Amino acid sequence: MPSPLEVLQQYWGYSGFRAPQDRIIESVRAGRDTLALLPTGGGKSICFQVPGLMMPGLTLVISPLIALMKDQVERLNRLGIAATYIHSGLSKAEVDRKLEAATQGTYRFLYVAPERIDSEVFALRLPRMQVSLLAVDEAHCISQWGYDFRPAYLQIGQIREQLPDLPIIALTASATPAVKEDIIDKLGLRQPAVFTKSFRRDNLRYFILADENPAGRIVEIARRTRGSGIVYVRTRRLTERLARVLNEAGIPAGAYHGGMPTSERELAQQRWLDNEFRFMVATNAFGMGIDKPDVRLVLHYNLPADLESYYQEAGRGGRDGKTALAVAFKNAADLQALETWSRQKYPPWTQVRDHYEGLCRYYRVSTTGIPGETHPLRMVELTKALETKALPLYNSLRILHQEGLIFFSEEQDDYARVQVLAPPQSIWQYQQAHPFLAPLVEYLLRTLGGRVYQEEVRFQPARWTRSLGMEMPELQRQLQRLADQDLISYQPSLGEPVLRFLQPRHTLTRRELNWEKYEFLRAQQAKRLQALRDYVNQETVCRSLILQQYFGESAHEPCGRCDVCIGRYKTRVSDDEYGDIQAAILAALAKESLAYRELLTKVSVGSPAQREKVLRYLIDKQVVKVGAGGRLQAS
């Protein structure tokens, strides 16, 4: 049998493991329950994929994000490793086919959304799957103390009840001590081996800047630094607006948000990975599974809701070990907007009930039988029909989804998926008997090649219609006809956000919605938001130390590199030396607006380091502002 290192080299081409991946893998191979707390960029997936390939049978992976599941499955398939995924957005027939294939040993990895664990069809198939390892990704989702609690994660314990000897590996990138203990308790981990990589990132320089107009400062910072970067914003509209500002300033930038079609998001991401875009302006939908090593800047135009999210997003910088800047902007308006957003995340239960009843009326959901239809989720039409606003409705949909009453996906996935199930001879015979299908069958096999027999392959239907000279409804009918004959599996593209009811219509109560739990979560969210506010507003304690202590590390050594450590807040413009420099800077700006470096060159008083220190202070205090084109001007 090959060693873990040989498996790593064979499939991933890496020359060695990152600490402590090798020790985690040995713990899993020894059959121990294992908890791995690896910060962003620590290579969590390797920790269960390598031992999964070395163990017989199937590795079952619980993952909460559909996009992340699809991404990891497609990566495994490209490496020649049989893998697939199951979530509530798939049809009953497709779920049934995949689960049956899993019992036949077709896959090495089966990714399952937590909501599917409680289904009867999954429970009946599980004992026949020959599962050797259970991997729980994003394990913090099981904890009510965590920042992204998912009630369906509590069902994972059912798997251990059915398969009591099954080893478990739980993985997360950020967990406080309370969350860590909750993971161990809720998953029933038995004397687990716990591996924690320090949350300290010595190559990251954390900065908090007070600014009412972060866009101008971002342009300035981008011009002064080299390398690629990410700018995180809170809204989809802002991604496009800020990307436009950067492009107009001569800084190539792309936009990325969950409302874009999948193909457009992937194209934007690839252009950034290829350095065609220097910056990506994105919502928090961006970054999962991205391992671009040379990110030199992570900028937060808007603050995230908690320190867990901030740490994960900032941690996407400097994965090559070289210095990277993590700069977050704060201002009163943004903090107020964040507080409002956080408060609305858990609305009154009567709002959720009213939205549920409105949805049932709008989609004509019956009180008997489980609805099978998938509906397009058109928010503009829906908000008008329900006489509500988009954000409250979105928050209600999220809670109804978490409670298993509905499935909804915001993703505009313009890819369909297909796999040939029948042998070539059967395909040929059916094609001969139905010649009108010949152009499609020949195009499918020619375009997708032999791999379509081994794995599910995605394609863009719009491209096929153009190549075949066929209208979209006809293409869908022909593909569905082949699927009905069990010649292929076919999953149509979602194309737009969708909604599906998972239960018959019924009258909701506080108890059915587990509303005490959401009131608890609301209180936890308020505490995490306060921790974030304390972090960005304080000016005396090393930022790296605060983050380490928040995640339970006993740290005492300041980083020496963050804004607090370098003494940004200790600058005194009243000193004679600094006063002269300040006067010189303001005199230069009184004549004309100047670029950052141009201004520092024009001023001759003091040393270059002193001039830059005073200029940064003046910008922080809004004595000097960043104007059009990133040029500086006196207030």
Q: Which residue carries 């697939």 as its tokens? A: 84
Q: How far apart (Å, rounded) are the C-alpha atoms in residues 198 and 554?
A: 10
CATH topology of domain 345-412+497-523: Arc Repressor Mutant, subunit A (1.10.10)
Statement: residue 577 has pLDDT above 60: no
Asked whether the bond before 20 is cis by omega within 30 degrees of 0, the reply is yes
CA-based nearest residue to 285, from 234, 337, 227: 234
- Position 58 scores a pLDDT of 97
The strand ranges marked E within 38-82 are 58-62
Q: Range with the lowest mean pLDDT among 279-283, 462-466, 578-582?
A: 578-582
Contacts of 428-436 spanning 24+ positions with Cβ under 8 A: 430/482, 430/485, 430/487
Higher pLDDT, 174 or 17: 17
Statement: residue 289 has pLDDT above 70: no
Q: Hey, which residues does 434 pair with through a beta bridge?
A: none
Statement: residue 567 has pLDDT above 80: no
CATH topology of domain 204-339+538-568: Rossmann fold (3.40.50)
Q: What is the pLDDT of residues 112-149, one digit of tens each?
A: 999 888 888 898 999 999 999 999 999 999 988 877 88
CATH topology of domain 4-196: Rossmann fold (3.40.50)
Top mean-pLDDT range of 32-41, 92-101, 322-331, 360-369: 322-331
Q: How far apart (Å, rounded) are the C-alpha atoms in residues 341 and 327?
A: 22
pLDDT mean over 556-563: 86
Top mean-pLDDT range of 201-215, 563-577, 597-611: 201-215
Statement: residue 607 has pLDDT above 60: yes
Statement: residue 495 has pLDDT above 80: no
Q: Range with the lowest mean pLDDT among 161-170, 327-336, 451-460?
A: 451-460
Q: What is the pLDDT of residues 306-316, one digit of tens each?
A: 999 999 999 99
Mean pLDDT, rounded, of the chain: 89
- Position 481 scores a pLDDT of 93
* Rg, C-alpha atoms of the chain: 27
CATH topology of domain 571-634: Arc Repressor Mutant, subunit A (1.10.10)
pLDDT mean over 340-357: 93
Cα separation values, 106 from 73, 92, 98, 496, Å: 14, 19, 9, 31
pTM, two decimals, is 0.82
The answer to whether 156 touches 113, Cβ cutoff 8 Å, is no
CA 103 to chain CA mean position, Å? 30
Q: Residue 632: which pLDDT band, with cuts at 50, 70 and 90?
A: confident
- Position 454 scores a pLDDT of 79
502 Cβ neighbours under 8 A, 6+ residues apart: 88, 370, 404, 405, 406, 407
Q: Hey, which residues does 376 pair with through a beta bridge?
A: 498
Q: What is the pLDDT of residues 505-557, one digit of tens each?
A: 989 999 888 899 899 999 999 999 999 999 999 988 899 999 999 998 887 78
Q: Hey, which residues does 279 pair with through a beta bridge?
A: 229, 253
Higher pLDDT, 75 or 610: 75
The answer to whether 398 touches 377, Cβ cutoff 8 Å, is no
